[in-house]
Structure 1
Amino acid sequence: MAAACTRALCKVGGGILESAAARRSGTVFSYLPGSRRAFGSGGYRSKLLTYLRTGGGAGGRVLGCAVLLGGGFGSYQTVKFRLQQHLAEEETKVSGGGGVKLTLYQYKTCPFCSKVRAFLDYHGLPYEVVEVNPLMRKEIKWSLYRKVPILMVDSDVQLNDSSVIISSLKTYLISRDKSMSDILRCYPEVKSVNDRGKEVTEYGNKYWVMLGDCEAAALYPDKGAQKEERKWRQWADDWLVHLVSPNMYRTSGEALASLDYIVREGKFGTYEGFFAKYVGAAAMFLIAKRLKSRHQLQDDVRQDLYKAVNDWVAAIGKKRKFMGGDHPNLADLSVFGVLRVMEGLQAFDDMMDNTKVKGWYRRVERAALQHEGREHMEP
């Protein structure tokens, strides 16, 4: 489990011991729901090898690395979800799955990829998963966009950035008179240079579902619901996601436990397992410290996680099951997708025990597994 993500660490060991096994990469097909953009909401790169070789490099490289592995090693229960998603995929083949063929290129433990899977699962859309090797990324060498997630629609239209993927697919499911290519034009690329002198790509309107007045009124019957959804989707990308890595690797023990889980679940040789566990744990512990400083988190980063989650629950309120009311909206699915990458780790257990999120979390989980959003696919 999570072998593709951790082979980046194994490459370090391979470079030292000349292990041929550490130079393997491949494509894994799975149907696992669960689980960054290069910092906002799109996708992320693996830069751990550069970090370990250079002793840190620029802050952007450090953050990109942490986002890669901070996506949630040891997330959710593998066997249960594998079976459930396989059965769900068979079901949705019968129902038609929205009439499009979807292929998701992802890192399984990436929270942005997890957001996309939460959306696809909730709406009962069948999709094929291509697991991308985070170091070589040869599975997406055909693409100029070198991050994940990437979603291919009918092997023809390429969707980049998790929020663009979700918004454009939601638009397509409701407005069947529009082609995916036409919809994609509503989310133009905007290139800029960040404060570190690096060119970055953002996407205009990415939190908007592009609907006519009648369609928008049907989807958002309550005043202010659309604005609220956009606000919290952006919050998930700009804040919540940056709490994942510091909490997963908060202590050396937690860092070691996270990497130990990968070694036990994955198929590693002796040298691969050793370096993935010990070198990786040490590196991620140090990176988590840098992230804490970068995002001005408290000494005990759990408190930031607790506060963020409780703020989310308070925004939903006591009278609603979800932020979307009786059914999850895109904000519900996004927040759920980010949080579930920590499942199976101490950070997740602590969050469940020390916040009020558990009831909402289990309701969204159930809704996604049962594909309760299928009714929105009807023409």
Structure 2
Amino acid sequence: MAAASARTIGKVGWNILESPACRAGNIASLVPRVSLHGSSRAYGTGVAGFRSKLLFTPLRVGRVLGCAYLVGGGLGLYQTIQLSVQHHLAEEEGKAYSDGDLKLTLYQYKTCPFCSKVRAFLDYHRLPYEIVEVNPVMRKEIKWSIYRKVPILMVNDDVQLNDSSVIISALKTQLISKETISEIMRCYPEMKAVNEKGKEVTEFNNKYWVMVNEAEGQTMYPEKDSRKEEIKWRKWADDWLVHLISPNVYRTTGEALASFDYIVREGKFGTYEGFFAKYVGAAAMFVISKRLKSRHNLQDDVRQDLYKAVNEWVAAIGKKKFMGGDQPNLADLAVYGILRVMEGLEAWDDMMENTKVKSWYRCMEKATQSHEDHN
């Protein structure tokens, strides 16, 4: 409609300029007659002077009027094209987002097990994402967020997802249902609670559930109880396996120093922060790891608890390639994400040598590949 109006205005302007009346200077019929009262001398040097101006004025007015129509039509057509292009781009952008082509930005610590879980999910599903490494000391990179933990995932620059399990469940739901992330997040309401130490903590309802309908659920979980098993082992990874990491990587002073050397090398630290973190942090975490061992009732040799947990996981997989069968499910990705933060450390070497996890672990490496391979 706007384009048609613009064309009409332009056509009128062109007809005015091409009309005989305009070319001959006789445009009186196109201009309303004006009755002028009072002395003609007020408008010129006499009657003759006034008439000469009157003969000249219609010609000029006609041309100006015609040009105005043309310019107005041109501007209108320009605005119409601009709006059409913007509308088309908006439709394409909305279509891309609805198809799962989301703009994802992950705020993380590279050596954080929960952040590693999210990366494993994103890598397996080939979802391109940008990484913002957060300084663990100052955390300036997330100063804009009320939620002060990592990981944080920003979706399309306007929806913030917190908590690794919520992030994974919500994105998996989006990949299947194609609903918007804003709609999906209503299924994971945030709630405040007070833990046994009297500290306020944030939890999320339904965080291990992928919100799909019955038909989609049967496709995603074809085997009986497979959904129930996935949720069970995702919880196990968060509630038990992750708590075995620190006591094992900070088991001795040597291991603690090696762990912090790795953390500083892979993380985002300033020169002085890195030096402080490596030596003071290693000493502090060596002490803290002893407290964690007591809190979680671990054996004196915490390696035995790690071996037991990993072998329990392998036994649950059984003869299948993955917990999810031929392809990893969300439990596979969670366990793999947590375990791989130990790579390059003594605890990881001991785990690979003294458990039956190696075959499954190598398959998970191939399934997820690396972020750089497809981003």
Structure 1 length-normalised TM = 0.69
Alpha-carbon contact 1:248-1:255 (below 8 Å) kept: yes
Q: Would you say the 8 A contact 2:322–2:332 is kept in 1?
A: yes
Provide the residue aligned with 2:337 in structure 1: 337
Distance 1:221 1:141, change over 3 A: same
Query: What CA distance in whole angstroms lies between the structure 2 residues aligned with 1:207 and 1:266?
Result: 29
1:111 positional shift: 0.4
Q: Return 5+ residue gaps in structure 2 as ranges.
A: 1-97
Distance 2:274 2:140 in 1: 23
Pair 1:175–1:254, CA change in 2 (3 A): same
Indicate conservation of the 8 Å contact 1:97/1:125, yes or no: no
Change in Cα spacing, 1:102 to 1:273, as seen in structure 2 (3 Å) is closer
**Which structure would you say has the larger Rg?**
2
Q: CA deviation at 1:227?
A: 0.3
- Amino acid paired to 2:110: K
User: Is the CA contact 1:208–1:230 (under 8 Å) kept in the aligned structure 2?
Assistant: yes
Segment of structure 1 superposing worse, 113-122 or 263-272: 263-272
Report what 1:214 is aligned to.
215
- 1:158-173 aligned at under 5 Å gives the runs 158-173=160-175
Letter in 2 for 1:256: L
Give 2:118's aligned residue: 116
**Partner SS state of residue 100, structure 2:** helix
TM-score normalised to structure 2 length: 0.70
1:107 aligns with 109
What is the Cα deviation at residue 261 of structure 1?
A: 3.9
Q: Deviations over 1:246-290 (max 9, x none)?
A: 000101111122233456677988755543333222111111111
Whole-Å Cα distance in 2 between the matches of residues 159 and 265 of structure 1?
24
Q: Are the structure 2 counterparts of residues 262 and 150 from structure 1 closer, same or farther at C-alpha, using a change threshold of 3 Å?
A: closer
Distance in 2 of aligned mates of 1:217 and 1:254: 46
What's the counterpart of residue 135 of structure 1? 137
1:145 aligns with 2:143: no
Q: Which amino acid aligns with 2:163?
A: D
The 5 Å alignment of 1:10-159 reads: 98-159=100-161
Q: Give the match for residue 308 of structure 2.
A: 307
Query: How many Å separate the matches in 1 of 2:349 and 2:170?
Result: 34
**1:174-193 aligned within 5 A:** 174-176=176-178, 178-193=179-194
Amino acid at match of 2:170: S
Equivalent-residue separation in structure 1 for 2:304 and 2:356 (angstroms): 14
Matched, 1:365 2:369: no
Counterpart of 1:297 in structure 2 is 298
Residue 50 (structure 1) aligns with: none
Cα shift at 1:148 = 0.7
Summarize the Cα distance change of 1:174–1:283 in structure 2 as closer, same or farther, 3 Å threshold. same
- Structure 1 gaps, min length 5: 1-95, 375-379
Task: Label 1:216 to 1:253 Cα distance change in 2 as closer, same or farther (>3 A).
Answer: same
Cα distance in structure 1, aligned partners of 2:109 and 2:297: 27
Higher relative contact order (CA 8 A, sep 6+): 1
Q: Map 1:247-258; keep pairs closer than 5 Å.
A: 247-258=248-259
In structure 1, C-alpha distance between the alignment counterparts of 2:130 and 2:215, rounded to whole Å: 33
Contact 2:150–2:163 (CA under 8 A) maintained in structure 1? yes
Higher alpha-carbon deviation: 118-127 or 249-258: 249-258
Separation in 2, partners of 1:165, 1:211: 15
Task: Return the offset for 1:144.
Answer: 1.2
Indicate the residue corresponding to 2:287 in structure 1: 286
Say if 1:219 and 1:344 are closer, same or farther in 2 by CA, change over 3 A: same
The 2-side partners of 1:267 and 1:154 are apart by 25
CA distance in 2, matches of 1:271, 1:189: 37
The alignment yields a C-alpha RMSD, in angstroms, of: 2.2
Q: 1:181–1:272: structure 2 CA closer, same or farther, 3 Å change rule?
A: closer
- Report whether the alignment pairs 1:243 with 2:256: no
Partners of 2:359 and 2:273 in 1: CA distance: 39
Relative to 1, partners in 2 of residues 1:289 and 1:142: Cα closer, same or farther, differing over 3 Å?
Answer: same
For 1:109, the aligned partner's letter is: T
1:277 matched to 2:266 = no
AA aligned to 1:100 is: L
CA–CA distance in structure 1, aligned partners of residues 182 and 142 of structure 2: 20
**Which structure is higher in helix share?**
2
Closer/same/farther in 2, CA of residues 142 and 358 from structure 1, 3 Å limit: same
After TM superposition, give the deviation of residue 369 of structure 1 in Å.
1.0
User: Which string of whole-angstrom CA distances, capped at 9 and with x for unpartnered residues, describes residues 110-166 of structure 1?
Assistant: 100000000000000000011111122111111111111111110011111100000
Distance 2:267 2:314 in 1: 35
- Distance in 2 of aligned mates of 1:144 and 1:264: 28
Match of 1:201, SS state, is strand
SS of aligned partner of 1:284: helix
Asked whether 1:259 is paired with 2:286, we answer no
AA in 2 matched with 1:242: H
State how far apart, in whole Å, the 2-side matches of 1:181 and 1:266 are: 31
Change (3 A) 1:183 1:263: closer
Q: Aligned partner of 1:366: which letter?
A: K
How high is the sequence identity, in percent, across the aligned residues? 77
How many residues of Structure 1 are paired with residues of Structure 2 in the alignment?
Answer: 276
- Residue 315 of structure 2 is aligned to residue 350 of structure 1: no
